[in-house]
Structure 1
């Protein structure tokens, strides 16, 4: 393909073979999120990329430091990746990425500051391929994606037809399909040899119940579950044997230690003494957890 190789395919150039290993059922996923900006402010990188195993970020690269560095528990893992080689690769890939951004700006006849982002990756279950994604967005709007079934690049904006024709003329379709369904899965299987302990762990939630009275004599009861993994969790309030309608609920983003938090809120008259209880269901718990609200606190 020479120097005209699309930025998206630059990821394919350094993926080496890996020996498949047995895994748990999964699913497990390997995902790369990349972004570029045409006119970054001083001190901000023009290109950055983060790799994820399931929902856990395991490395980050940016064009300011020009270093791909392991994150979280992967800082302590030896032998999973050659970080110096990955840094060189991401630097070259960033140059391709920003070149493609300039090309896309040309299709729109845009000048000034614009952004491009990309999400690509693969997923396996029971040690077999079970899906992939490769999408690109321009200025926050979906621009083009790859369909492994056809296979083909699918333009999501009229201007993206230019990109489709360019990439497909350069022969990217079969290589992209081969990467997503083959090489990406092999890379994921290799990473899982070093990472299953982090991805399969079960961290039980810490649960607290708080109460405060708002103006108007309305009491807010909040049940907070924190420091749990994996993310799926069920939280709900009951009054006696009846489920109480939720006023609001929320989920926090993943924390630095790789765990989540979630909460659920109900509002009751301040004179209402219950009984109210928060119920928690999570895969780490042998049985559901019930935490009563004590009106005396």
Structure 2
């Protein structure tokens, strides 16, 4: 097939990149404390779009404050209306915490009530939802939208179930929220933020080594600044994957990106044999990235990004 300096022939165009279809999720995490302390108000809520902070609310400011970049997207949400909704949810949430403490006569110490709920879309269709609560770290009550009903997981939750199911309409509203309202809100947010959630930021990869000549050398392969979160890092000797000593965790690195690393110890005998390399697999890379370590020198394979 003929090509020229301007790129591939129009008779053989590159295959189109498939449109990302998710999954996308909208989730809320609530925490109530019976005894607030500095830095920890009595109630706080954080919303997430996928794994990205969407907005934060707490009992001190009583305002839904959007996180970047959502704060720059005009029209994505009516933040005053959202603040009023969170105030109402705060009131119900803290009354429930008091009811549980009264049931157990928990007068001493600090007690915690947590709530988690949200929904997911795959190919623009609802593909999952959850709504559950915990008291002092133990499962408390969960909504089963198939029954539909609140399912107690703690003795005190029987009272909560009776209160929340006093009228059938409340159960139907919870079911409608998970199956209809939450997915509809998520679709609306995606009209503004889908490009941001679909972005592909490749990792910067670096290798460092520590140790004295003639002794065991510690090699660290680090990947920085990548998104989305999923990534694989492996140390390779020759064609064999090596078992690493530590690392593998994926942590935020700032700017809504992530970092990860793997550590390997290499004996003097090992350094004298096959070379070692770090192999990185990430969705932003057309193929796995291999960075070679030889002695105290790291060389990136073609396309490697180093720091």
With normalisation by structure 1, the TM-score equals 0.88
**Could you report, residue by residue, the CA deviation over 1:78-108 in whole angstroms, capped at 9, with x for unpaired residues?**
0011112212221222122111110111222
Structure 2 residue runs without a partner (length 5+): 1-18, 298-307
Change (3 A) 1:196 1:38: same
Quote the Cα distance in structure 2 between the aligned partners of 1:271 and 1:249.
24
Choose from 77, 81, 84 the match for 1:81.
77
Rounded Cα–Cα distance in structure 1 between residues aligned with 2:115 and 2:215: 49
Whose relative contact order is higher, 1 or 2, with alpha carbons under 8 Å and at least 6 apart? Answer: 1
Q: Give the whole-Å Cα distance in 1 for the aligned partners of 2:135 and 2:296.
A: 55
Per the TM alignment, residue 24 of structure 1 is displaced from its structure 2 partner at its CA by 4.1
Aligned-residue offset at 1:215: 11
CA contact (8 A) 1:247 1:266 kept: yes
From 145, 157, 169, give the equivalent of 1:160: 157
After superposition, the Cα gap between the structure-2 partners of 1:296 and 1:266, relative to the gap in structure 1 and judged at 3 Å, is closer
Alignment of 1:214-225 (within 5 A): 217-225=215-223
- The aligned counterpart of 2:279 is 279
Structure 2 Cα separation of the partners of residues 185 and 152 of structure 1: 20
- Of the three residues 166, 170, 173, the one matched with 2:171 is 173
SS at match of 2:180: helix
The structure 1 residue matched to 2:28, chosen from 22, 27, 32, is 32
Q: Equivalents in 2 of 1:77, 1:194: separation in Å?
A: 7
Please tell me whether residue 133 in structure 1 is matched to residue 134 in structure 2: no
Kindly state the Cα deviation for residue 296 of structure 1 after the two structures are TM-superposed: 2.9
Q: 1:214 to 1:60 in 2, by over 3 A?
A: farther
**How far does residue 43 in structure 1 lie from its aligned partner after superposition?**
5.7
Comparing 208-217 with 159-168, greater Cα deviation is found at 208-217
Equivalent residue in structure 1 for 2:148, among 144, 148, 151: 151
**Count of residues in Structure 1 that have an aligned counterpart in Structure 2:** 275
Q: Secondary structure at the match of 1:86?
A: helix
Shift of 1:158: 2.1
Aligned to 2:200: 202
Select which of 217, 235, 238 maps to 2:236.
Answer: 238
Mapped partners of 1:216, 1:109: distance in 2? 65
Q: Match of 1:15? A: none
Q: Name 1:213's counterpart in structure 2.
A: 211
Q: Does 2:289 align with 1:289?
A: yes
Identify the residue that residue 13 of structure 1 maps to in structure 2.
none
Does residue 105 in structure 1 map to residue 101 in structure 2?
yes
1:255: how far off?
3.6
Q: Deviations over 1:8-50 (max 9, x none)?
A: xxxxxxxxxxxxxxx8411110001111111112564111111
